[in-house]
Structure 1
């Protein structure tokens, strides 16, 4: 081998050694190890428990909301503000519940309904969910106006006001859910099969949109409604205590039950939502990250279904505490179950007598 060839060989050896040292350097390959969290136990939990929750919510929602809808159609007219809001609340809950069988099937196997239904069902799910919360808040505010500002509200609480307010609620809910139409796609996972999830964009974009969704949920659809519900019902309680209403104790108890139920159902879910947002903003590392993520996923599954259950049964809760709807329900039962006719008639007569003796019918919950 000539000197030139020997020199060239030594140069190649040195270059290969230099390349090897740089490519095997940990900082050259990656800044830190990638931790992949196992989701097997969580997926098994979701496949067995979540479909049961969803089907129960679906059945309760259709039975309860369907009954309220039938009573409104049979015995009421859509001239009052309360009935217009109640009808919209029922429709929003039915829209939300209609998506639950799709998600139950998805949790049990994979997404088998195609791209179009992936986007439509996801949008319907969130539109119904958001509008249900807002209509509950709107009904509470309307009740506050009718009780605390009865004289001024008598002039402003017209049918046009109810229709416009309902349209505003639907518009806000649709705008808040528009990202589902854009981001939802059907993708194939080698372990889970076909998935209906947010995909097709960089991970950083997905993370930012998840943060927007979580903070939107916590601030706009939890804190704001909670403060309004608390303020309105505390004001109504103070107003009732200042009157000579004979059944004020019953009304105050019902107000307490409404506030407590709203707070108990919604707070755990939204606390988990806030923790998920914090986790995305400040991700952990290693085993602790996987443990925290798994714990939050389990908590999200459980608390979310409690919140969803409240959405499904809320129309029944808000209507059948009222004497008028109780009377309608008795009439309906007496008509379809003859053996209850005499007992129901006596109760209805007693209710009418009590109502005549109560001067402030607005306060009767």
Structure 2
């Protein structure tokens, strides 16, 4: 949600814009109609896709111990928390805030914490891979990988909570034009409003993107030739996708900060900014289901497990039979060999089901 309002980009801005055009007050009826019609549908679809994608990845982490890593697991948790706020914003976008003031603050807190943490965890995974490979190449390590990953998780959640606290301290439910709204209330503290916009850009986009960019450039240079293409594809995929999702939103937030400084004040410009913040925000919110899908597609081990989990026993046997190097023998030697492989595969899966669901550090 925009810094000035988690759903509606500040009702006060809609009715109190300083830029006046040919017909007096700057009314933004079309922006309101667009948000009321489009946002509930978008939030609902995004919520459904996110639940499917993140639960699929979470089930794979729970089912297969070898796939369970700390940072990806925390990324999934963060995206699930973000997803849980979307139904509230969908209801809010269609009418008004009906959940009360405590829920306004609580939902805003979860939303901001999960937004910051999701982006930081995406960057932390690249940083973790770079540190692991760099330590192997240099044969020096300040601390072991599990301990370092746990510290990174703690730092990500800490920075996310601190960043979200600055937002939530200004959030409250208000009654405006006979409607209840859940929005930031800055009074005359315009400086805080501008600060939160820049914090959103720096902590939510600039820092994660610079980490991703650095790792995507440096990491392929530190690995052996055989793995260079695989590492380059993985790092570049996340970096490019992160940029495409979040750069437009960050630009519009920056332009809104300039608008708060009264560098832009024309009514038509304000209306265009309001449309832009809704569109780019929706693009950015797609990260909640793109992150797990991208992780599954770019990680061969995860993709292989998911593909095998979706196969029926008959399909598995047919694939094993086709890949077998044995020639057909009387009595079905190939099929017997495939059955034996399937049974061995099934036993290996069962052996990977631990008694607890705690992640295994990378």
The higher-RCO structure (CA 8 Å, 6+ apart) is: 2
1:59-208 map, 5 Å: 59-76=48-65, 83-151=69-137, 152=139, 156-190=143-177, 193-199=179-185, 201-202=186-187, 204-205=188-189, 207-208=190-191
Instruction: Determine the structure 2 residue equivalent to 1:234.
Output: 217
The structure with the larger Rg is 1
After superposition, the C-alpha distances for 1:328-355 in whole angstroms (9 at most, x for unaligned) are 2123212xx44533356579999xxxxx
Match of 1:224 among 207, 218, 229: 207
Aligned CA RMSD, in angstroms, stands at 2.6
Q: How many residues align?
A: 304
How many Å apart are 1:158 and its aligned residue?
A: 3.0
Residues 92, 131 of structure 1: 8 Å contact kept: yes
Give unpaired runs (5+ residues) of structure 1. 1-31, 351-365
Match of 1:325 among 275, 298, 302: 302
Given the superposition, is the C-alpha separation of residues 153 and 314 from structure 1 closer, same or farther in structure 2, using an over 3 Å criterion?
A: farther
2:225 is aligned with 1:244:
yes
Residues 110, 195 of structure 1: 8 Å contact kept: yes
> 1:294 & 1:75 partners in 2: Cα distance?
50
Residues 47, 108 of structure 1: 8 Å contact kept: yes
Residues 54, 100 of structure 1: 8 Å contact kept: yes
Residues 333, 340 of structure 1: 8 Å contact kept: no
Instruction: Determine the structure 2 residue equivalent to 1:23.
Output: none
> 2:38 & 2:317 partners in 1: Cα distance?
44
How many Å apart are 1:311 and its aligned residue?
A: 3.5
How many Å apart are 1:308 and its aligned residue?
A: 1.3
Aligned partner of residue 49 in structure 1, secondary structure: helix
2:284 is aligned with 1:301:
no
Residues 246, 284 of structure 2: 8 Å contact kept: yes
> 2:244 & 2:63 partners in 1: Cα distance?
33
Given the superposition, is the C-alpha separation of residues 256 and 349 from structure 1 closer, same or farther in structure 2, using an over 3 Å criterion?
A: farther
How many Å apart are 1:116 and its aligned residue?
A: 0.9
Instruction: Determine the structure 2 residue equivalent to 1:269.
Output: 249
Normalised by the size of structure 1, how large is the TM-score?
Answer: 0.76
